[in-house]
Amino acid sequence: MLKKNIIWAAAVAAVAFAVYLSTACRTVYVGDSGELISAALVLGIPHPPGYPLFCILGRLFTFAVPFGSVAFRVNILSSLLASGSTALLFLSVMKTVQYPAASHGPASAVAAACASLAFAFSSVFWSQALIAKGCLYVLNIFLLSFVLYLLVSAERNPKPGFLYAAAFLYGLAAANHHTGFAVFPALFFFIFILPRRIWNRPSFWLKLSGLVVMGLALY
């Protein structure tokens, strides 16, 4: 079942990325885009809070993509992360609707795909998936979508590994944009609805905190 879900998720992401790529800005957009593209190119520090993760990924992406202007490459990075967020949303929805197992079926996949694509082509999200400035927000959504998928997975199969991975990705999200801190209370509360055997050990909290700090260490 997981393999089928991944195939569906890849198809959803491909549709979203194809549309994003065809509508992405080909040059420097208005606002902070020029500053952010320059910071990514030279691995510099843009306006506060500095966006270290974006600058590192932007720097790598400008070298990894062999076509288009530097501005277009950073814009494509935003499109790629946005389509990845759509795929993660699909997987999270499927994790939810496929519990219990009796609810398995193609109708669930079609409904999840429609919901994910509706999110992908919502006006605000779509507009941010096309420009470098939007990459700041889209990257945050991508990381927090990944955290959501891991938390849903932990609810279905309570294992510390899911939470450890979620903690590190949450730290990266907070290192990208300070709005990531706004979801901290919800993530903290979620842990306490899991079986007590998962979180009643001091070693668990030490590892969790250490992984969050590792993500934040990009600052």
Those residues of the chain that have pLDDT short of 70 are 1, 98-105
Give residue 1's pLDDT.
Answer: 66
Give residue 101's pLDDT.
Answer: 52
Give residue 179's pLDDT.
Answer: 79
Give residue 128's pLDDT.
Answer: 92
pTM of the full structure: 0.88
The dihedrals phi and psi of 130, each to the nearest 5 degrees, come to -110, -5
Detail the DSSP E strand segments found in the chain: none
Helices (H) and strands (E) counted in the chain, each on its own, are 11, 0
DSSP string of 95-123, one letter each residue: HHHT-SGGG-SHHHHHHHHHHHHHHHTSH
Give residue 145's pLDDT.
Answer: 92
Give residue 33's pLDDT.
Answer: 81
Give residue 134's pLDDT.
Answer: 86
The first and second tokens of residue 17, run together, are: 């990325």
Cβ within 8 Å of residue 155, ≥6 positions away: 190, 193, 194
Give residue 3's pLDDT.
Answer: 81
